Amino acid sequence: QVQLTESGGGLVQPGGSLRLSCVVFGRTSRDHTMGWFRQTPGKDREFVAAITWNGGSTKYADSVKGRFTISSDDPKNTVYLQMNMLKPEDTAVYYCNTVVLNFLLTKPDIGITNTNWGQGTQVTVSS
């Protein structure tokens, strides 16, 4: 089963930047795509961004478009989320996971293909 380890979170001031990492263990050839999600207390987990392992396709939530950049390093089994111009509303625990989606759609449904979520990494944006 796929195992995930997220890191890179922390406390940052509004307007600042962070780079999150997600190391993936045990992925198979069927795991073509990775996604980042975030969750705040009392709310459902929210899609942030997705990328194919070859980096050929990406998708972003409207709330992060133009500020966040997702990237992948296939040989290192690692996916990154570069977060710039951070806002207080970006405060959340961030998770990664294997996903499926249709990149051709403007707002595709996001399917989670692995039930084994990692611990996540806390991002706090505050002055």
CB 52 within 8 A of CB 32: yes
DSSP state for residue 26 in the 8-state scheme: S
CB 85 within 8 A of CB 68: no
CA distance 32 to 113: 10
Q: What is the mean pLDDT of residues 47-68?
A: 96
DSSP state for residue 55 in the 8-state scheme: S
pLDDT in tens, 6-54: 999 999 999 999 999 999 999 888 888 999 999 999 999 999 999 999 9
The predicted structure's pLDDT at residue 18: 98
* Confidence category of residue 84, pLDDT binned at 50, 70, 90: very high
The predicted structure's pLDDT at residue 1: 86
Average pLDDT, the chain: 95
CB 103 within 8 A of CB 111: no
